Amino acid sequence: MNNANNHPLQVAIIGSGPSGFYVAEALLNSGISTEITILEKLPCPYGLIRYGVAPDHQKLKNVSQTLDVIAENPSVTYLGNVEVGKDIQINELMQLYHVLVFTTGMTKSSQLGIEGESLIGVHPSSNFIGWYNGHPDYQSLRFDFTHDSAVIIGHGNVAIDICRVLAKPIDELRKSDIPEQALDLLSQSKINHINLVGRRGPIQAKFTTKELHELGKLENCSVAIHPKHLELGEKCQQELDEISNLIAKKNHRVFETYRSNFTTTPDTSKKQISIEFMLNPKAFQGDKQLQSIVFEKTRFEGPAFKQVVIPSNDLVEIPGGLAFTCVGFNGSQFAGLTIDNKKGTLSNINSRLINEHGEIVPGMYTAGWVKRGPNGVIGTNRECAQDTVNQIIEDMPEFVHQFAYGKKSLIEHLQAKNIQFVTFNDWKVIDAVEVELGQKLGKPREKFTSVSSMLACI
Ligand SMILES: Cc1cc2nc3c(=O)[nH]c(=O)nc-3n(C[C@H](O)[C@H](O)[C@H](O)COP(=O)(O)OP(=O)(O)OC[C@H]3O[C@@H](n4cnc5c(N)ncnc54)[C@H](O)[C@@H]3O)c2cc1C
């Protein structure tokens, strides 16, 4: 399908995480004549595949190889080291392209908004994840692993990833692509006890069973749950008994094995992970440096599957000098577009972006996490991208009579502004050097952790 004047549909995709690539793939598969530019603020592509997915889960990161095939299609141009909103504005892009698709992800952690959150030692998950994954924006941060115990707030897979990085033997982590400077600090860790705390119960925890189970397999580490946490109330039992609630059932079986590890005299030669339920964080305490966290015990109200958490005045204090909050993410704001404050996404109606008056902005779309929120697995973004492309195709008659200059003019524009953009071939050079450096250290790659070092490489 061509547009009326046989000009290709010019599409700029902003963000090169999986969603950005999947939007490109769906456009290529749609039969439309199209030219696609993928703009990425970092020199390197892949978004959270490179900078979020746990470094000790390297197999998962191999999905980037399927994204390379998309990037290497002649109708696709990758331009890294170009930040939209800084190096080029949205209105400038709109003059060059028919369609902009925002796939900028959600990388900022949500805040709990409680007292003491800015104390030294309290870290939003995104900071720690970015740091141990070598993201250039987080390398100046410092984490103090000299404390005996750490507290992780949140009961999802991000919390488990952090827990594993803190609990895994350093020699195991050395086989991952955690940068050497982070490994050096982690190798000095004195953390022996990790509390993994959630405000709801075991049936409502968002862990996937594979990750939960993996925690119990860590060498020289014991995962325990106090037996009281598995004494279910009537509504929770109903939720567990529901035939379709498979993940809860599978998780519950793993929780039961962790219950059997519970003892009042733990083996101090091993690291201990305690999974705590029904505790809502109330305040971080300490004088500049975090010393403990106060939680209020919670209870449930309401029918099964619609139970809401009600905090009580019954307080519990958990000591610890290091805390990580894993309670959700937010997307970045762009001029002229609005953020859905509840979901942290770019406000959109069925993938079409809307302005502050709630009106659809013609030619602007979104896909991936920043469209629907931080949920699902990498493959979920593929369906999400296809859905977005379906809407673009539906709107095609609005664009067919216009001509757009696309990447040629964009490149001239970037050159005129002296912006050193990175092509996909340039990225492949960086990639090869990282892999080579890694091989010398017996790991999959040694990442460059600054933009300047990546650029110097090409
Ligand atoms: C800690 C963690 C672990 C995870 N582990 C797994 C896992 O094991 N398995 C799994 O299936 N999923 C996992 N996920 C989920 C998976 O990473 C996401 O589903 C996926 O990355 C979302 O893709 P996205 O393209 O929407 O966003 P992202 O991957 O975040 O990509 C967004 C891209 O946009 C770029 N960008 C942002 N702003 C701009 C701008 N202004 N201009 C240009 N570019 C910009 C960013 O640099 C980034 O490259 C994990 C997520 C996290 C946070």
Q: What is the mean pLDDT of each run of 10 residues along the chain (458 residues)?
A: 68 98 98 96 98 96 96 98 97 95 94 96 97 98 96 97 98 97 97 97 97 97 97 96 96 97 91 98 97 97 96 94 95 90 95 94 96 95 98 88 88 96 98 98 97 96
Residue 334 class from Cβ within 10 Å (0-12 exposed, 13-18 middle, 19+ buried)? Answer: buried
For a ligand 1 pocket test, name from 16, 51, 53, 329 the mutation site with the most ligand atoms within 8 angstroms of its C-beta: 53
| Nearest ligand 1 atom to alpha carbon 125 | 1
The annotation places the binding site for NADP(+) at 155-158, 199-200, 211, 376
Listed in order, strand segments (DSSP E) in 90-166 are 99-102, 108-109, 122-124, 149-153
Output the CA 141–ligand 1 centroid distance in Å: 20
| Nearest ligand 1 atom to alpha carbon 42 | 47
Output the CA 51–ligand 1 centroid distance in Å: 8
Helix (H) or strand (E) holding 166: helix 157-167
What is the token pair recorded at 38? 């993928």
Q: Is the CB of 18 under 6 A from ligand 1?
A: yes
Output the CA 47–ligand 1 centroid distance in Å: 4
Output the CA 20–ligand 1 centroid distance in Å: 10
Q: Is the CB of 388 under 6 A from ligand 1?
A: no
Q: Is the CB of 85 under 6 A from ligand 1?
A: yes
The annotation places the binding site for FAD at 19, 40, 48, 84, 369, 376-378
State residue 108's pLDDT score: 87
What is the token pair recorded at 139? 């390398």
Assess contact for 299 and 232: CB atoms under 8 A.
no
Nearest CA to ligand 1 atom 10: 377
For a ligand 1 pocket test, name from 38, 104, 165 the mutation site with the most ligand atoms within 8 angstroms of its C-beta: 104
Output the CA 36–ligand 1 centroid distance in Å: 20
What DSSP designation does 356 have?
Answer: T
State residue 226's pLDDT score: 97
Q: Is the CB of 16 under 6 A from ligand 1?
A: yes
Output the CA 103–ligand 1 centroid distance in Å: 9
Q: Is the CB of 93 under 6 A from ligand 1?
A: no
Put residue 220 in one of left, alpha, beta given phi > 0 → left and psi -120 to 50 → alpha. left
State residue 335's pLDDT score: 86
Distance CA 81, CA 88 (A): 11
CATH number for the region 108-325 comes to 3.50.50.60
Q: Where in the chain is the domain with CATH 3.50.50.60?
A: 108-325
Q: Where in the chain is the domain with CATH 3.40.50.720?
A: 9-107+331-422
380-395 and 18-29 helices, crossing angle to 10°: 50
Domain 9-107+331-422: give its CATH architecture.
3-Layer(aba) Sandwich (3.40)
- Give the side-chain half-sphere CA count within 13 A for 196: 30
Cα dist from 182 to 1, 129, 173, 188, 329, whole Å:
50, 11, 10, 10, 23
Q: Is the CB of 57 under 6 A from ligand 1?
A: yes
Q: Is the CB of 53 under 6 A from ligand 1?
A: yes
State residue 304's pLDDT score: 96
- Give the side-chain half-sphere CA count within 13 A for 180: 11
What is the per-residue DSSP string for 207-243? Answer: --HHHHHHHTT-TTEEEE--GGGG---HHHHHHHH-T
Output the CA 419–ligand 1 centroid distance in Å: 24
Q: Provide the H-helix boundaries in 261-379.
A: 369-372
3-state class (DSSP) for residue 34: strand
The annotation places the binding site at 19, 40, 48, 84, 155-158, 199-200, 211, 369, 376-378
For a ligand 1 pocket test, name from 13, 16, 48 the mutation site with the most ligand atoms within 8 angstroms of its C-beta: 48
Output the CA 179–ligand 1 centroid distance in Å: 19
State residue 277's pLDDT score: 98
3-state class (DSSP) for residue 357: coil
Nearest CA to ligand 1 atom 52: 52
Q: Is the CB of 15 under 6 A from ligand 1?
A: yes
What is the per-residue DSSP string for 235-272? Answer: HHHHHHH-TT-HHHHHHHHHHHHHHHT--SS--TTSEE
In angstroms, the first-to-last Cα distance of the chain is 38
| Nearest ligand 1 atom to alpha carbon 129 | 1
Distance of CA 293 to the CA centre of its chain: 25
Nearest CA to ligand 1 atom 14: 53
